[in-house]
Amino acid sequence: MQVHEHTETPEKVLPPAERSLVLVGLMGAGKSTVGRRLGNALRLPFHDADQEIETAAGCSITDFFERYGEPAFRDGERKVIARLLAGPRHVLATGGGAFMDPQTRALIKRLGFSIWLRADISLLMERVTKRPTRPLLKNVDPRATMERLIEERYPVYAEADLTVDSNGGPHDTVVQQILNHLASLGIKAAS
């Protein structure tokens, strides 16, 4: 196991306006791009869990999967997300499988405000085929894999605090939609 993280998290439950905002959803949904822009709009730091895992492990996610396998990746992912959520308020883009892990999901529910970026299969496939870096899709039928993941994961992603549809329009439209929802809940830019 190559990822070493501090996993202690505070026990207290935070009000929504003090929670980190956690983007969940499938590969290609736009979590990193939307997350970065959301962070800018809210004047909050942005973290990308996949990038943090790569930094902690000292290798790419593809190499990590090849060397240590998916269970080790999930373990590292759980620790990285726990460490980030224990820190100051921020916007966090998670990898597509993170919210499927029961422990990570419970932690996000306790410490974060989760936002599911929902997208249909054609949009997801259009985006993921542009950057062939996802180990789960390196097989003969990535579309069938994506269909299976949609079936397995969408009912779980639906447990997120907020669902926003990403219909292939500009990312800024999605960001604005999220900001409108957050404002109605009293969640605004950091001062």
The residues of the shown chain that bind ligand S3P, judged by CB under 6 A, are 27, 31, 50, 61, 95-97, 134-136
The CB-of-134 to ligand S3P minimum distance in angstroms stands at 5
CB 105, CB 78: distance < 8 Å: no
Nearer to ligand S3P, 14 or 143 (CB): 143
Beta-bridged to residue 5, according to DSSP, are none
The CB-of-137 to ligand S3P minimum distance in angstroms stands at 8
CB 8, CB 100: distance < 8 Å: no
Residue 6: phi and psi, rounded to 5, are -85, 125
Nearer to ligand S3P, 45 or 135 (CB): 135
The CB-of-95 to ligand S3P minimum distance in angstroms stands at 2
Nearer to ligand S3P, 34 or 42 (CB): 34
Nearer to ligand S3P, 57 or 187 (CB): 57
Please tell me the distance from the alpha carbon of residue 89 to that of residue 191, in angstroms, as a whole number: 13
Phi-psi region of 171 (alpha: psi -120 to 50; beta: other; left: phi over 0): alpha
Q: At what angle do helices 142-157 and 121-128 cross, to 10 degrees?
A: 120
Tell me the pairing of strands 46-48 and 20-24: unpaired
The CB-of-10 to ligand S3P minimum distance in angstroms stands at 25
Exposure b/e, 14-29, CB count within 10 A at least 16 = b: eeeeebbbbbbbbbbb
The CB-of-11 to ligand S3P minimum distance in angstroms stands at 27
Nearer to ligand S3P, 96 or 112 (CB): 96
Report the residue number whose CB is nearest to ligand S3P.
Answer: 95
Nearer to ligand S3P, 174 or 187 (CB): 174
The CB-of-18 to ligand S3P minimum distance in angstroms stands at 26
**Cα-to-chain-centroid distance, residue 127:** 16
